[in-house]
Structure 1
Amino acid sequence: MRSKTSMSHLGPAQRAAGVPAGAGVVGAKKGAAATVKAGAKRTALGGVVGNGVKGEEVMDNKPLKAGAVAKSTETRQPLASRQNNGQATRPIAPVPHRAKAPVAMDQTMATLLSEDDASEMDLDVLSHGPAHAQGKREVASAMQMQVGPEDGSSVGEVSDEEEEEEEEEEDDDDWLRMSEEDMVRNDIELADVKSRFEDEVDMFDTTMVAEYAEDIFKHMEELELSVMPNPRYMDFQTEIEWTMRTTLIDWLLQVHMRYHMLPETLWIAVNLVDRFLSVRVVSLVKLQLVGVTAMFIAAKYEEILAPSVEEFVYMTENGYTKDEILKGERIILQTLDFTVSSYCSPYSWVRRISKADDYDIQTRTLSKFLMEVTLLDHRFLRCKPSMVAAVGMYLARKMLNGTWDDAFVFYSNFTEAQLVPGASLLCERLVEHDFETVYVYKKYANKKFLRASQFARDWALTHAASAW
């Protein structure tokens, strides 16, 4: 039996505190242990061990299958690393791994993130955006009214024609544009479906709040229009391009997955980035600062236990300081007038559309992958979140040999003719030769997500050309 240390030689205060003899030596040993553990951060969140994501449904391990025909799973080699994409330099820092110390930045990255450039956000009020272009057009129109055209035609007619030409030029990339006949046909189809489709409402299911659902989604339809970014904001950016945005979003996907954040956090962060870049000019060296600050804001808004600002500094491999992220937070929120809660991610709409197929797990998992692919494609900035959800569900049904019946039209408010162009753009992205190198493909190639990315890419390579 181990003998108990006597406390008779201690004073009353020491006996009351329960301090044994040799406490100084023990304290020194504890101090040494604390020094060893000084590098461990976020003990409240736990170490990063797996790739689990909060907020996802518990999924079985059966692979996706098209209809009733089972699809054999082929043995695949590990995906290629990100360094094999052929890019000479990368303006976005890679995600640091928790198991080892942060890797020192290369010489190119250190040059971009110099102290002189990192002193502030380097953000200017938009001087080349739509408002400035509109002012230029007004000045030019006033000058034409004063001088007059050389051919003697009416000034008003010339200005109207020029405005029409400008509008046509602006709408060249608008793949959502439909003819008046198609719009009338879609409206008639929607009205017909809503008139004869009966929604089965379970009044005892309190989670679906059936008595308020119609009003809630009507309000969400109004809100999503107020938080749409400018789909052509890259026209007035001086240093960044769409490919740099794609690299930034790919990095945010890695950060989001590494720290087990909710799915809505990612969508809010991307929306904040696009809306901010729609009204402010940002330099290349500050693009990652905008991205990490947007994720910081979204995490504080959506997460129960959000990562600290020190964690976000670590995410950038100390490329930015704590003060720079906090200053960037103030600039972004003031620029966007603190409008964060008005954005509703496509996940909210998917939950409603999934009622049409009784919340089929394979369709939902595949649609979530397809929706995240749209984040990398700037052409989908024209889409409302409700349409992104509808496009993802429609293409997932198409891949699984399903149909877009009246139930899906009723719950999504989109007909098949409206969703085909978006599905075609997604298939174009899936068949690109370097698509397997992006992180969203690697994420959904995991068995936990039913290897949805592998199934979707194989289907696109085989059937996309003849699907429509």
Structure 2
Amino acid sequence: MMDKENAVIGGRVTRAMARALREVSASSRPCFKKQRKSKLEKSSRAALTDVTNEYRKPQLNNSAASNSQTRGGHRKPNTKGASNVSMQVLSTRDVRAKSAKDLSAVSMVQSHDVVFAERLEDRELVQPSMSVMAGPLLSMQDSVESDELLGSPNKDIDMISEKLKHSDGLGIVDIDSVELKDPQVWSSYAPDIYNNIFVREFEKRLTDYMGELQKDITPSMRAILIDWLVEVSEEYKLVPDTLYLTVNLIDRFLSQSLIQKQGLQLLGVTCMLIASKYEEICAPRVEEFCFITDNTYTKAEVLRMESEVLNLLHFQLSVPTAKTFLRRFILAAQYSCKVSYVEVEFLANYLAELTLVEYSFSQFRPSLVAASAVLIARWTLNQSEHPWNSTMEHYTNYRVSELKTTVLALADLQLNTKGCPLNAIRDKYKQQKFMSVANLSPKPVQSLFEAEV
């Protein structure tokens, strides 16, 4: 080859040399096209192999697999590179469409395999050899029936209307039927959700850790910490759920781990950091929580404490708090309340937040605290009628006599009979945006329990 090139460059080109050069150039071009074509075929074949493997794993029957192989990769290649690629792309689309169709059939069979097995056992409809073919047919029939039931737009309305009929005789107002106007609010799930929350609050009950475990921490130290955290939550404009979850995490950690008073503030800011990450849209950064402690703790110390808290509590952050129940109970109070709904809401939230500072209220169930706060709020704003009726009893699961101990303790807290100097919550609810509910005069509540409703 080098001799030929030198001959071309250095002298005259003979007829034999020209023929040889044409043969070399002609042979080099097809090799390049063939190599490029083989790469495209290889890549397309690899893609088809992946799709085939994806939907052939369940392999319902042999016909689906054979069809996929026939349609997937065994087409006769065309001599033209462009048409060959287009045919393989079309083949890929066909296989993907087929795979999606077969996957839907597989998921349908898996969702109804238990029902199908029971029918085969009880009725002996088909022989074992026919079970694979009969399964999809029965499953599709069951699927159509379930879709018809779920697709009925009036099913939930009829269910709640039936419940309302039974409630009319008892004087119970159905607070969930109002929300049916919004198609995005599935209010028919609310009773089941809150029944589950009522059960879960029994699992998360706290022990008297101040008397049983902690030796260096007192209830007054805890109160000072939480009162300061209330100011922090106001400074960063955190939602109320963050504050309630913060106190819950502090109490749960202290009930399981011994801590010295030097680390109490570190525990407080760390629990608020965790609660902020869980509840807030834009949580404050770690550096901000270090800053509010006047850099008493470093970022590394906060992160180390965060890991310790989360591991000790097994990352269980979704817990019922008084705020969880307040939303439900205030909604129930709305339909039988003659005073401003917003005012009842603010006053009930104020009373419930007062309990966060007081250690003795950590022994009460959150639903009990929320129900007592709503009762006192309604009684404070309107003494013309008893604040507890059948609707409130139905949705809170408490009779008025069962609230007596908590209500009396909460009334003393509202009056501040102990002269507690921690006023972060009181100052917060003296603001106009909360309708200054902290300035309302408490009313005697003893008469509420003289005769049970």
Q: TM-score, with normalisation over the residues of structure 2?
A: 0.57
**Residue 353 (structure 1) shift:** 1.5
For residues 467 and 293 of structure 1, do their structure 2 counterparts lie closer, same or farther at Cα, with a shift above 3 Å needed?
Answer: same
For the pair shown, the structure with the greater C-alpha radius of gyration is 2
Question: Is the 8 Å Cα contact of residues 253 and 440 (structure 1) preserved in structure 2?
Answer: yes
Q: Tell me, yes or no, if the aligned pair for 1:229 and 1:278 is still in contact at 8 Å.
A: yes
- Residue by residue, what CA displacement relative to the aligned partner does 1:135-156 show, whole Å, maximum 9, x if unpaired? xxxxxxxxxxxxxxxxxxxxxx
Contact 2:322–2:366 (CA under 8 A) maintained in structure 1: yes
- Show the 5 A alignment for 1:193-204: 196-200=170-174, 201-202=177-178, 203-204=180-181
Matched, 1:333 2:310: yes
In the alignment, is residue 373 of structure 1 matched against residue 349 of structure 2?
no
- AA aligned to 1:344 is P
Q: Relative to 1, partners in 2 of residues 1:434 and 1:291: Cα closer, same or farther, differing over 3 Å? A: same
| Aligned pairs (5 A) from 1:309-388 | 309-341=286-318, 343-358=319-334, 360-388=341-369
CA distance in 1 between counterparts of 2:396 and 2:446 reads 26
The secondary structure found in structure 1 opposite 2:258 is strand
Match of 1:442 in 2: 427
Q: Report the 3-state secondary structure (helix = DSSP H, G, I; strand = E; otherwise coil) of the residue aligned with 2:202.
A: helix
1:418 positional shift: 1.1
Q: How does 1:371-410 map to 2 (within 5 A)?
A: 371-400=352-381, 401=383, 402=385, 403-410=387-394
Q: Retained in 1: the 8 A contact 2:266–2:302?
A: yes
Q: CA RMSD in A?
A: 2.2
CA deviations on 1:35-94 (whole Å, 9 max, x unpaired) are xxxxxxxxxxxxxxxxxxxxxxxxxxxxxxxxxxxxxxxxxxxxxxxxxxxxxxxxxxxx
8 Å contact from structure 2 (residues 290, 297) kept in 1: yes
- The yes-or-no answer on 1:221 pairing with 2:198 is yes
Q: Does the C-alpha gap of structure 1 residues 436 and 453 become closer, same or farther in structure 2, counting only changes over 3 Å?
A: farther
With 413-422 and 435-444 compared, the bigger mean Cα shift is at 435-444
Q: What corresponds to 1:417 in structure 2?
A: 401
Q: Which one-letter code corresponds to 1:316 in the other structure?
A: T
- The 8 Å contact of residues 444 and 452 in structure 1, kept in 2 or not, is answered as yes
1:230 maps to 207
Report the secondary structure of 2:314's partner residue: coil
Question: Structure 2: how far apart are the matches of 1:194 and 1:246?
Answer: 45
SS at match of 2:345: helix
Q: What is the CA deviation profile of residues 292-317 of structure 1, one whole-angstrom value per residue up to 9, with x for unaligned ones?
A: 10000000111100000000001111
Q: Is the 8 A contact 1:197 1:410 kept in 2?
A: no
Q: How does 1:70-219 map to 2 (within 5 A)?
A: 196-200=170-174, 201-202=177-178, 203-206=180-183, 208-219=185-196
Q: Is the 8 A contact 1:445 1:452 kept in 2?
A: yes
CA drift at 1:219: 1.5
Aligned to 1:144: none
SS of match in other structure, 1:414:
coil
Shift of 1:283: 0.1
Answer yes or no: is 1:459 the counterpart of 2:442.
yes
Distance 1:195 1:284 in 2: 57
Deviations 1:85-112 (A, max 9, x none): xxxxxxxxxxxxxxxxxxxxxxxxxxxx
Secondary structure at the residue paired with 2:442? helix
Q: Distance in 2 between matches of 1:370 and 1:451?
A: 13
CA 1:409–1:194 in 2, change beyond 3 Å: closer, same or farther? farther
Match of 1:257 in 2: 234
Which residue of 2 is the match for residue 290 of structure 1? 267
Distance (whole Å) between structure 1 residues aligned to residue 193 and residue 399 of structure 2:
21
TM-score under structure 1 length normalisation: 0.55
CA shift at 1:335, angstroms?
A: 0.6
Name the SS for the 1:281 alignment partner: coil
**Once the 2 structures are TM-superposed, how far is the Cα of residue 235 of structure 1 from its aligned partner?**
3.1
Equivalent position amino acid for 2:331 in 1: K
**In the superposition, relative to structure 1, how do residues 276 and 328 fare at CA in structure 2: closer, same or farther (>3 Å)?**
same
Kept in 1: contact 2:243–2:272 (CA 8 A): yes
How big is the shift at 1:194?
10
- The answer on whether the counterparts of 2:210 and 2:217 sit within 8 Å (CA) in structure 1 is no
Partner of 2:245: 268
C-alpha spacing 1:234/1:314, structure 2 compared with 1 (3 Å): farther
1: distance between equivalents of 2:389 and 2:271? 38
Contact 2:372/2:403 (CA < 8 Å) preserved in 1? yes
Other-structure match for 1:430 = 414
Cα offset, 1:437, TM superposition:
4.5
- Secondary structure of 1:289's aligned partner: helix
- Structure 1: 5+ residue stretches without partners: 1-191
Unpaired runs of 5+ residues, structure 2, are 1-165, 336-340
Distance 2:167 2:404 in 1: 19
Do the aligned residues in 2 keep the contact of 1:346 with 1:385 (CA within 8 Å)? yes
Give the C-alpha shift of residue 268 in structure 1.
Answer: 0.5
Alpha-carbon distance in structure 1 between the residues aligned to 2:169 and 2:187: 19
Per-residue Cα deviation, 1:7-55 (whole angstroms, up to 9, x for no partner)? xxxxxxxxxxxxxxxxxxxxxxxxxxxxxxxxxxxxxxxxxxxxxxxxx
Work out the CA distance in 2 between the residues paired with 1:285 and 1:327.
15
C-alpha deviation, 1:398, in angstroms: 1.6
TM superposition shift of 1:210: 1.9
Offset at residue 207 of structure 1 (A): 6.0
The alpha carbon displacement at 1:419 in A equals 1.2
Q: Relative contact order: is structure 1 or structure 2 higher (C-alpha 8 Å, sep ≥ 6)? A: 1
CA distance in 1, matches of 2:411, 2:172: 33
Q: Is the 8 A contact 1:193 1:406 kept in 2?
A: no
Percent of aligned positions that are identical: 32
| More helix by percentage | 2
Query: Deviation of residue 434 (structure 1)?
Result: 3.2
Count of residue correspondences: 272
How far is the alpha carbon of 1:429 from its aligned partner? Answer: 1.9
